Copies of this chain bind each other. A is one copy, B any other.
Amino acid sequence: MFQVDGEDQLGLDEVGLSETAWERLNLSEGTEVQVTHAPAIESLASVRRRIYGNRLDSRAFTKIVQDVVAGRYTEVQLAAFLTATAALPLDENETAHLTGAMIAVGERLQWGAPVVVDKHCVGGLPGNRTTPIVVAIIAANGLVMPKTSSRAITSPAGTADTMETLAPVDLDIAALKRVVDAEGGCIAWGGAVHLSPADDIFVRVERELDVDTEGQLIASVLSKKVAAGSTHVVIDIPVGPTAKVRSEEAATHLATRITAVAARFGLTAQCLLTDGTQPVGRGIGPALEALDVLAVLQNAPDAPADLRTRAAILAGAALEIGGKAKNGEGLALALETLAEGRAWKKFEAICVAQGGMRTPPKALHVHPLAAPYAGRVIHINNRKLSRLAKLAGAPEAKAAGIHLNVRLGDEVDRGQPLLYLHAETGGALAYALDYAAGAEDIIEIDV
């Protein structure tokens, strides 16, 4: 169909391929190939049916997720599927079908223990870094807790980002098993384990759309928990006007739905509605949050009490559903485990098993944001604080972020630092200061 006039041109009986295609098809030069029209993707008919408001059955979700994981959907088609399930939310059956379909396309870890505990936070609250503390308390009490966490998607730090400033987290399945066999627990990055390959694809598009629906959230979380071989999971749902879940009504609906869908897969889930009106601890950003975690584990006198209490409540619930404490006695056992230093000892051991303990880095640039006038702190905007920390460089710059100096209800003087910005470069600091200057309602003060 075209002229051949140079050695870079293809002959009439030759086919050119992209680098990716060479790799995927595993071909060598000179191989004979047959080229045909791509077969139609049948599951797209289901996506179109869903767009126009028809509910889908288990078979339809299975086909969709299989095609998604096989890489057959374009970004546009992925976006259409995710948007359609936001416009008409997935019901309980559909959520379970999607969860099951996402479990089916991934691997499933096996642990030789009758009880395998897990913990999850639906997110949206900066500094809420309870996971390393919870794992240390649980493992110190003899339960198995092979915890894998994500890196930040839209937040200034994910648990994996924070933990990485304290120990290596990039463990493959063999390393993960070794650590858990030795110490009963781990705090690893889930990305290397690929517990939910479908979720890895959906998350990318959800992030671009900034759309995160209840049904997708539940399918994402539960598919990973089931794939990780968990039998019991405690789920932290922070509720507050600028948290991800904004009303108690929405939180209760989410909790009920999670528990019901989890039960269909033999997973015992307990949801805890927690205070989401302000950040947890003082640090926001990988290293700054790690310092809060260390302070709690080491029983430092200035350790943030709110982080300590939240972690103990979550660990207490896990100890109860995991059978290590009677109902109502979990919190006391968790606090005792912290106070006696057993949690810190276990945490150190886990870090060593994961490859050696590290010291969190410090930022080159630290700059205060001062109160413009005296008064009482009446509102803290979680979303804007997160944005501020990200502009300062978190999570890519591990030392970057925010050290928060005030909490709701505090009385402040004019000029008193409300927070300190931490940045690794002057440019990032300038971005953050620029944003702070135009957003005076990040921390609201009532005169």
- A37 / chain B contacts, CB cutoff of 8 Å: 391, 431
Residues of B near A53 (CB, < 8 A) are 87
Contact indicator B83/A208 (Cβ below 8 Å): no
A431 to B35 Cα, complex, angstroms: 12
Complex contacts, A210 vs chain B, CB 8 Å: 44, 48
Contact at B211–A76, with CB atoms within 8 Å? no
- Flag A199-226 by CB within 8 Å of B: 1 or 0 each: 0000001001111000000000000000
Question: How many angstroms from the CA of A431 to the CA of B39 in the assembled complex?
Answer: 12
B211 touches A51 (CB 8 A): yes
Query: Are A87 and B44 closer than 8 Å at their CB atoms?
Result: no
Q: Is the CB of B77 within 8 A of A209?
A: yes
- Cβ-defined contact, A209 with B76, below 8 A: yes
Asked if A88 is at the interface (CB within 8 A of a chain B CB), the reply is yes
A48 contact from B48, B76, B211, Cβ within 8 A = B211
In the complex, A77→B210 CA distance in Å? 10
How many copies of the chain does the oligomer comprise?
A: 2
Q: How large is the interface on A (under 10, 10 to 19, 20 to 34, 35 or more residues)?
A: 20 to 34
- Check if A74 is an interface residue, CB within 8 A of chain B: yes
Contacts A48-B211, A210-B48; A87 near B76 (Cβ below 8 A): no
Q: Are B51 and A87 in contact (CB under 8 A)?
A: yes
Alpha-carbon distance A211/B51, docked complex (angstroms): 9
Q: A86-B52, A87-B83, A87-B84 are in contact. Are A76 and B431 (CB under 8 A)?
A: no
Q: A169 in the interface, Cβ–Cβ < 8 Å?
A: no
| Interface assignment of A79: CB less than 8 Å from any CB of chain B | yes
- Distance (whole angstroms) from the CB of A394 to the closest CB of chain B: 15
| Chain A 54-90 per-residue mask, 1 if CB under 8 angstroms from chain B, else 0 | 0000000000000000000011111110111011100
Smallest CB separation, A84 vs chain B (Å): 6
Q: Contact check, A86 vs B208: say whether CB atoms are below 8 A apart.
A: no
Which A residues have a C-beta under 8 Å from some C-beta of B?
A: 37, 44, 48, 51-53, 74-80, 82-84, 86-88, 205, 208-211, 391, 431
Chain B: which residue is nearest A76 at the CB level?
B79
**Contacts A37-B431, A79-B79, A431-B37; A208 near B84 (Cβ below 8 A):** no
In the bound complex, how far is the Cα of B85 from the Cα of A53, in angstroms? Answer: 12
Question: In the complex, which residue of chain B has the Cβ closest to the Cβ of A204?
Answer: B76
Question: A78–B80 contact, CB under 8 A?
Answer: no
Enumerate chain B residues within 8 angstroms of A86, measured Cβ to Cβ.
Answer: 51-52, 84
Alpha-carbon distance A211/B76, docked complex (angstroms): 12
Given the known inter-chain contacts A37-B431, A431-B37, please indicate yes or no for A208 contacting B87, CB distance below 8 A. Answer: no
Which residues of B sit under 8 angstroms from A44, Cβ to Cβ? 210
Bound-complex Cα distance A129 to B86 (A): 40
How many angstroms between the C-alpha atoms of A78 and B78 in the bound complex? 12
29 contacts between A and B (CB under 8 A): A37-B391, A37-B431, A44-B210, A48-B211, A51-B83, A51-B86, A51-B87, A52-B86, A52-B87, A74-B75, A74-B208, A75-B75, A75-B76, A75-B79, A76-B76, A76-B78, A76-B79, A76-B205, A76-B208, A77-B208, A77-B209, A79-B80, A80-B80, A80-B82, A80-B83, A83-B83, A83-B84, A83-B87, A84-B87
